[in-house]
Chains A and B, each alone.
Chain A
Amino acid sequence: MPDNGLIQLEDIHFGYPQRRHLFAGINFHVSGGDLLGVVGANGSGKTTLFRILVGLLRPHRGMFNAFGRAIQSPPDYDELRRRIGFLFQDSEDQLFCPTVKEDVAFGPLNLGKSKTETLRIVEETLASLGMSGFADRISYELSGGEKRLVALATALAMQPDVLLLDEPASGLDPRSKRDLVEQLARIGGTQVIASHDMEFVRATCRRVIVMDAGKIVADGPTDAVLGDESLMLHHGLEVPHSLAAEGRIATDHHHGSGPSHGHGHGTSHERQEHT
C-alpha cells in the first residue's frame, strides 16, 4: 500500500439481492495525484465501486479507509462526500436547479459557505472551465457537452480532494470529448475515471485497472494495460485504436514492467485459461 494512499479498500464484500457476491474481497487503492482509469465490461462493478467510494453504498464487510481515517459512521460518510466529487453518468440527474449558477452553488451552500463566498466559488469554478458566461443560463437548456461541464463544475465547486467520474465521455460528440479531456488535464489533482471509451481513458489516465465480474483483474500503467490485447479481449474490452496505430500492442503475456494481473481471486488462473 502506498504511503500517500488517499483511499484504500481492503477485502471489501458487497452484493445486491439479485447478485449477492459482486465483490468478494476486492482490494483497491487510490494515491494522491493518481489519474486512474477503471475499465471493464458492463456489469463488471465499476459503478458499484464508485458508489462505495462515495459512500452511496456501504460495503457488507471489509476495511474502508479514506484520507487517513476509517470510514464507518454517518459523519465519516458525510466528510467523505465532502472530499470526493462525483460526476454522475447522466448529467441530467446532477442538474436540478433552474440556472447553472444555482446548480453550482448548491454544494457550497450546503457546506455552510456564505452567499458571498459561494458566489465567488461559482464564478471561479465556471471561469476555470471556460464557462463564465453560463452562470445565468438555464441548466436543462444546455447541450450534452455543456451539461457535462456544468455537472463537473457542480462537483468541483465542493473543492474536493478526489474526483470520481463515472462515464464522463458517454454521449459526447468528439469536440465535447476533446474539451472534457483538456479540462480534466488542466484540473489535475486526483481523478478516478470509469469509462468504456478506451481512447478517453488513454488520454486522461496514467494508471488503469481492469474490472471483470466484480474483480480487479489487472492494474498498471495505462498503455501497458490497454495495449495488452489478449487481456483486453478476454475481459470484453478492446485495445484503443490509437495504440494499435502506434503499433504498441502487446500480444504475449509475460510483461516485465507491464500490468500486474490478479488483484483478487483466481485471476492468474483465468489468465492461464485464456492464454
Chain B
Amino acid sequence: MIPSTLEYTKATSIDEAIAAVQAGARPLAGGQSLVPMMRLRLAAPGAVVDLGGVAELVGVCEDGDEIAVGAMTTHRAVAADPLIGEHCRLVAQAASGVGSLVIRSRGTIGGSLAHADPHGDLPAAILAAGGSVVARGPGGERRIEIGDLVTSYLTTSLADDEIITQVRLPKGNAQSAYAKFHRRAIDWSIVGVGVAIGADGVRAAATGVADRPTRLAGFEAAVNGGGSIAEAAAAAGEGLDPTSDLDGSAEYKRHLVGVLAQRAYLEAQG
C-alpha cells in the first residue's frame, strides 16, 4: 500500500521541529508505527517533520536521581543501555521485546509513547517505573507523568504544537521486571505487566487492559499490604475491563494480568 501525498521537512534542532509542528506538520520519529499507518491510509498527515536529524534528541545520560533518555533513542539502544539496565531494568526489558530486531533498529522510545498504542509495552513499563516525559512547545517545556500522558486509544495529552524531547526514568528501579504475553514473538502484547520494587513499595502497571497503560491498584495494595504474591496476583485484575477480541475474553486477559504480575514480581525480586 501507498501513503497519501505529503510534504516532508527534516529538522536539525528541536526549535526547528517545533516550528514545523506549529505549522501543522506531524512529527515523524522512527516511523515504525506512523509509516505503516500511512501506507494503510489509516493516517494521512499532509506534512511530516522528521526528527531523525536532531542530534540532541538522541542519547542516554544520568541526571541526578533520574536517567534522561532522548526521545529519539532507539529501542535497540534503550535495551542495551547499561544505565537503564542497572537502574530501570524493566524498561530495558520492555524495549528489547518491542516488535522485531528490524523494528527496534528504527523505532524510538519517544515515538512509542507519542503513538500511545493501547498494547504498547513501553508506556506500561515506564508507568510502573514512575517515569515521565519532557514535552516542549513554543511556550517552553513541561513535565508530564506517564499516567497523564496517554488519555485514550492512540491519543495523548500533548498539545498539537508539542513534541516529546526526553523520557525521564527514576533510578531506584533496579529490582524490576517486565513480563509480556503474546501469540507470535513479533506480535503486540495481549497483556504485558511491569513491576518495580522501590523504596516506597511496589508499583505495577499493565498494557492491553484498557485504552491506556493502567496501574494495577489491586495488586499493589495486596502486595504492599503484606499479602502473599498469590493473593496479590488474584487481586491484580480487579477493576479492569479489557476488551474481548480474537486474542481472548476479558476474563482471560484479567487472569493473564495476575499471571504476568506474579511472574514479573518474582523476577524483580531476583
Q: Do A and B bind each other?
A: no
Q: Which of A's residues lie within 8 Å of B, judged by CB?
A: none
